[in-house]
Amino acid sequence: MKRLLTATALAATMATSAFAASEAEEAAITMYYPDANFSVLSDDQVAEMFAVANSGSSDTQKRQDIEAIAAMDNPSPASADVSEMDLTAYVPEWRLNEMTEAEKQEVIALVNQDDNPDNVRVQLLKDMESAAPNLTTGEMQAVKSVAPDADLTVLTTEQVNEIRAAIYGADEDAEMRNKIEDALS
């Protein structure tokens, strides 16, 4: 029996996809941990959880072990206890207003990972430096007024800078529209 469990654990570890958990792994894990967020779990965590789910332990023990594995490096955003008001200690309010819900959940997860606020701020600053800035609501309205068909959903930092230059530097609407269309092409 021990050989079977060892072989199962070994096979689960070796057969784990490099990109996502298989349907079998997800089904086995969610049976004991329905809140599993597979997008933030590493392949090693999924393999370890799958091995626990297929072990001979009691259901209660399996649930506890799988939850412990999930909590090691990836606190669940669903269990996050930090409100937006608390996040202003880590992120300026204007930036918080620009963030999507997914970005806010990442901040919450980062805050929950480290008790030292200075470490969290340093990590957030590093992450924000590489993040593309968002256009403000007013800037998006200015773009839509001269180029109503402009797709502003995914922009690079360079595109945002070019659009801002067009908004604040163009003398005429036609000139602004041309510069914005050039930036988006």
Please check whether residues 108 and 61 belong to one and the same domain: no
Please check whether residues 115 and 57 belong to one and the same domain: no
The CA distance from 111 to 116, in Å, is: 9
Please check whether residues 124 and 142 belong to one and the same domain: no
Please check whether residues 10 and 69 belong to one and the same domain: yes
Please check whether residues 28 and 8 belong to one and the same domain: yes
Please check whether residues 28 and 86 belong to one and the same domain: no
Stretch among 44-53, 108-117, 157-166 having the lowest mean pLDDT: 108-117
User: What pLDDT, on the 0 to 100 scale, is given for residue 90?
Assistant: 74
Please check whether residues 126 and 91 belong to one and the same domain: yes
Instruction: Enumerate residues 6+ apart whose C-beta is below 8 A from 18.
Output: 43
Assess whether pLDDT exceeds 80 at residue 48: yes
Higher-pLDDT residue of 53, 116? 53
Assess whether pLDDT exceeds 50 at residue 14: no
Domain tally, the chain? 3
- Whole-angstrom CA distances from 99 to 23, 55, 77, 79, 93 are 32, 42, 15, 20, 10
Q: To the nearest whole percent, how much of the chain has pLDDT over 90?
A: 1
The CA distance from 15 to 17, in Å, is: 6
Stretch among 84-88, 164-168, 181-185 having the lowest mean pLDDT: 84-88
Instruction: Enumerate residues 6+ apart whose C-beta is below 8 A from 61.
Output: none
Select from 73, 90, 120 the last residue of a domain.
Answer: 73
Higher-pLDDT residue of 107, 23? 23
Question: What single letter denotes the amino acid at residue 22?
Answer: S
Q: Give backbone dihedrals phi and psi of 21, rounded to 5 degrees, phi first.
A: -75, 145
Q: Of 144, 113, 148, 140, which Cα lies nearest the Cα of 127?
A: 113
Q: State the average pLDDT for the chain.
A: 74
Please check whether residues 152 and 117 belong to one and the same domain: no
Assess whether pLDDT exceeds 50 at residue 7: no
Please check whether residues 55 and 10 belong to one and the same domain: yes
Select from 30, 58, 73 the last residue of a domain.
Answer: 73
User: What pLDDT, on the 0 to 100 scale, is given for residue 128?
Assistant: 62
**Could you read off the pLDDT of 103-157 as tens digits, one per residue?**
777 777 777 776 677 777 777 766 665 555 678 888 888 889 998 888 887 777 7
**Could you read off the pLDDT of 56-98 as tens digits, one per residue?**
888 888 888 888 887 775 544 444 444 444 777 777 776 777 7
Q: Of 182, 181, 180, which Cα lies nearest the Cα of 164?
A: 180
Q: Is the pTM of this model over 0.75?
A: no
Please check whether residues 151 and 176 belong to one and the same domain: yes
User: What pLDDT, on the 0 to 100 scale, is given for residue 73?
Assistant: 58
Assess whether pLDDT exceeds 60 at residue 185: yes
Where helices occur in 54-98 by DSSP H, the ranges are: 59-73, 84-87, 93-98
Please check whether residues 36 and 95 belong to one and the same domain: no
Q: Of 98, 90, 97, 92, which Cα lies nearest the Cα of 121?
A: 90
The CA distance from 146 to 53, in Å, is: 57
Task: Tabulate helix, strand, coil % of the chain (nearest 5).
Answer: 70, 0, 30
Q: Which domain holds residue 83?
A: 79-130
Find the angle CA(173)-CA(179)-CA(183) to the nearest 5 degrees.
140
Please check whether residues 17 and 45 belong to one and the same domain: yes
